[in-house]
Copies of this chain bind each other. A is one copy, B any other.
Amino acid sequence: MKVSLGSKNCLYPMPITIIGAQVNGKPNFNTIAHVGIMDFSTISISLAKVHYTNKGIKENKTFSVNIPKEGLVKETDFAGMVSGETTDKSKVFEAFYGSLKTAPMILECPINMECKLIQTIEFPKHEVFLGEIVETFCGDEFLVDGKMDISKVQPILFVMDGTSYWNLGSKISNAWKVGKELVK
């Protein structure tokens, strides 16, 4: 039986990301699961307006989206628990930079997307930053024949009910294939 939960966002699990931004001249990192795909070169990240990271994104108009691996779950959780306002998070990870110069990326993360801010959408308590991906970096140990092997990446997934981290299971099937038998 269907029951109503009111107006509740149940779009989970979502991939955990760590957002990198240069704030007050230092790299800062913030863990964010409220992200999205706009198109093949654009990502959205939603940050509560109170976050320290927002200042750097607005100032430099750049940020990075980093995909942590399961082995980084403690550091990832920590980066989401404490604010850059009171805790220097610049040494939690090793930062590296690309052509934008002000979007610190995380060396330890399998995947890093260097982004240029192209639009900001205002919500009552959140700012959603849309970033155009300028360049993507990947550790070569996560690639097989030039393609990303998600089972090697071991991404972390977030679920709001129970506020928990999950890992990826196994491959069910190929997309645009398993449904073919229903085509008449």
* Interface of A toward B, CB cutoff 8 Å: 1-15, 17, 33-44, 46, 65, 67, 70, 73-82, 92, 96, 107, 111-113, 119, 121, 123-126, 128, 130, 132-140, 143, 147-150, 155-159, 161-183
Question: B36 near A9 (CB under 8 angstroms)?
Answer: no
Given contact pairs A3-B138, A11-B35, A157-B157, enumerate 10 new A-B contacts (beta carbons under 8 Å).
A2-B112, A5-B138, A7-B136, A12-B155, A38-B44, A70-B172, A73-B172, A78-B179, A167-B169, A167-B170
Which chain B positions have C-beta within 8 A of A179?
Answer: 74-81
Which chain B positions have C-beta within 8 A of A174?
Answer: 162-165
Which chain B positions have C-beta within 8 A of A75?
Answer: 179, 182
Question: B164 near A171 (CB under 8 angstroms)?
Answer: yes
**What is the minimal beta-carbon distance from A109 to any residue of chain B, in angstroms?**
10
Measured CA separation A175–B76 after assembly (Å): 9
Which chain B positions have C-beta within 8 A of A7?
Answer: 41, 132-136
Question: A13 near B137 (CB under 8 angstroms)?
Answer: no
Question: B140 near A176 (CB under 8 angstroms)?
Answer: no
Which chain B positions have C-beta within 8 A of A150?
Answer: 12-13, 159, 161-162, 166
Kindly identify which residue among B80, B125, B137 contacts A4, using a CB–CB cutoff of 8 Å. Answer: B137
